[in-house]
Structure 1
């Protein structure tokens, strides 16, 4: 029970990371050795990790209700309910991309739809409740603004990007149009809030002391919604042919212009984030102490890679196919490092105290928080 007490929604970042690496490996636009085997293995691991995280999180609510409620009262911990919502949609998307190839297609598709609806509902709740708490309950200062503030507002775009593939699977134009309208509405919510939060983050970077080594990984969160937006608009022309056939050429043109522009934004932010990371690895920096926030090196990069995949399919130009392969290689490098460090931290009791002789962990290692930012 002491272990369960320590399992917060931040652990769903592992679900997000494993899930997106699994999907991107399996669906790589350039054929690579063992891509389907690796994708399936990670998909099976994803199911185990998701069930373990979900059961532990539910049990925590039952046995340690006060601690679970306290997460909402903390301006840093509350953010990670966005990871819970996104984790559900990532699992559902993997059932569509991979599960339909290894299980009964109809059953896997049904599971994917159930996960999508659950994830969409959780996303809508998260994007309402957490910002509201930030507005009326939490006490923060301007210098505490981090890109992690995006975590509870990104889930709607993740639900939109993962749901676009399901549009043709719904029967009837009315159902498909309802799905499309909901997807575009969720994109609008995240787009608006992404601009607002990014403005706060940019202001904090300009006017306050530089980010310390503990907070530096948070910068990578910015490229997550950029990549998911690219994935959404890159897939719309092909997934709405049966619904909006006469608009397909227009959607293709809009998607092309929009995605290339966003790709440029994403590359710029990757460079900025990389420079921050490298800075803290030099003598001028603070080092990069490991914590669960390191999963920011995985899912956001994976999101941007999924956007590049969509751009490659949309344009069929070699440039973006090569970029997809390079980004997948970088993603795998980050994934191996972060997964290894996470596993090592679990075994040693640094992330979760599971044995009496483990020293008490600082809670901020599991919840890299705004209260720790200099």
Structure 2
């Protein structure tokens, strides 16, 4: 090619159809380069749409996946390679949590106005509680898996992660009810099981604190126990404030819409997790009281070792009774939820959505409470019941996870109810930035003319 030659344009590949020895090139040619660019643009647009519609409810996936790994790890009747399966699900949960966290950061960074729309939505904002609860399941598995396998370094990791989840849980458990009271426009018939989500965060964090305290030094364990008991009191009491309202709503306005019917399982959560957390905390109290010198419970020598042990035994005994009461309340809500689901399925089909993850965590924590009671009382009946419920939860998790993966790949499950038209809301202009009205414009022109 000489220096005067001009570069050739991109080559177009024409579509040809052969008939005998002849070829028909009358069809419109297609450009491979343009097709590739359009495909890349389509992928980019779809990725932005999915991030824009990535709601906080996705962290309920971490709750369900985490409770599945915890149940398999602590199943009363173990079998070969079960531990490997539990650890694999745990690793999957860590990966999912990381991806979901990054997606959320991108969402609220690229579209800051979405946060305002989400936090003012009467339903979507309540799912923000799934974030610290999903993190708590990871904290528990760090204690169950990483600490025995890798040593004391992961004790610090577990404690730091627990403090992060505890602070976030406490903030959500206090601030979100205030937002509901002051910002959300709702009515009595709109009360749903989703209202329990920001409240139960404190119960989940307190139970996780009891798990972490088992591997902490006595002094650190005592601080963790105190904070956990406070959070347990906040969460369980608020849950019992809400239960009568929810019961009355069901009695007056009957069952929730079919799209939210799975939320009837959510009242089981604070009962099951509350029972498990109370047993876990009481067990740690009793263990610390029996350590040399009363361990971390000897607060400045105010009580003798014998007195500390007596108080710890009393706390332990009362905790078992209260845990049974909570387990009984949870059993009522569980039976009510199961009957509700079967009654609804008999009349109509329940559409699949992210709310189906409400099957997993509430029933899962009820299973952990059952196995904890079986362990403390050495009850074979409760041990069998806990194993049965645990395996049912794992099967439910596998089904819901597979459906979520399929719809997630298709993209149809990415839908944010807080975005009315599927677009981020426009930034709200301040009064000084508001556009001038016609009257203002005319007055300005008259002033200029007079001057």
Taking structure 1 as the reference length, the TM-score comes to 0.90
Q: Output aligned runs, 1:1-374, within 5 Å.
A: 1-102=48-149, 104-173=150-219, 175-240=220-285, 241-242=287-288, 243=297, 244-282=308-346, 285-352=347-414, 361=415, 363=417
User: Residues 319-350 of structure 1, C-alpha deviation per residue, up to 9 Å, x if partnerless?
Assistant: 11101111112111211111111111112221
Contact 1:8–1:68 (CA<8 Å) still a contact in 2? no
User: Equivalents in 1 of 2:218, 2:345: separation in Å?
Assistant: 55
User: Equivalents in 2 of 1:256, 1:147: separation in Å?
Assistant: 27
Q: Which position in structure 1 is the counterpart of 2:3?
A: none
Contact 1:236–1:251 (CA<8 Å) still a contact in 2? no
User: Residues 127-182 of structure 1, C-alpha deviation per residue, up to 9 Å, x if partnerless?
Assistant: 12211111011000100111110001111110000111222444354x43332221
User: Equivalents in 1 of 2:91, 2:416: separation in Å?
Assistant: 32
User: Equivalents in 1 of 2:315, 2:91: separation in Å?
Assistant: 35
Contact 1:298–1:334 (CA<8 Å) still a contact in 2? yes
Taking structure 2 as the reference length, the TM-score comes to 0.75
User: Equivalents in 2 of 1:341, 1:81: separation in Å?
Assistant: 22
* Comparing 321-330 and 263-272, the one that deviates more: 263-272
1:50 deviation in Å?
0.7
Contact 2:155–2:216 (CA<8 Å) still a contact in 1? no
User: Equivalents in 1 of 2:184, 2:226: separation in Å?
Assistant: 33
Number of residue pairs the alignment of both structures matches: 353
Q: CA RMSD in A?
A: 1.7
* Comparing 201-210 and 140-149, the one that deviates more: 201-210
User: Equivalents in 1 of 2:69, 2:109: separation in Å?
Assistant: 32
Contact 1:79–1:151 (CA<8 Å) still a contact in 2? yes
Contact 2:121–2:418 (CA<8 Å) still a contact in 1? no
Contact 2:207–2:281 (CA<8 Å) still a contact in 1? no
User: Equivalents in 1 of 2:134, 2:387: separation in Å?
Assistant: 24
Contact 2:371–2:387 (CA<8 Å) still a contact in 1? no
Q: Which runs of 4+ in 1 moved over 4 A?
A: none
User: Residues 249-286 of structure 1, C-alpha deviation per residue, up to 9 Å, x if partnerless?
Assistant: 2233212212222222222211110011001111xx33
User: Equivalents in 2 of 1:209, 1:183: separation in Å?
Assistant: 36
1:220 deviation in Å?
0.5
Contact 1:86–1:158 (CA<8 Å) still a contact in 2? yes
Residue aligned with 2:198, SS: coil
Task: Kindly indicate whether structure 1 or structure 2 has the higher relative contact order, using CA contacts under 8 Å at least 6 residues apart.
Answer: 1
Q: Which consecutive unaligned segments of at least 5 residues does structure 1 have? A: 353-360, 366-374
User: Equivalents in 2 of 1:92, 1:8: separation in Å?
Assistant: 23
Residue aligned with 2:199, SS: coil
Residue aligned with 1:340, SS: helix
1:363 deviation in Å?
3.4
* Comparing 235-244 and 33-42, the one that deviates more: 235-244
Q: Which consecutive unaligned segments of at least 5 residues does structure 2 have? A: 1-47, 289-296, 298-307, 420-451
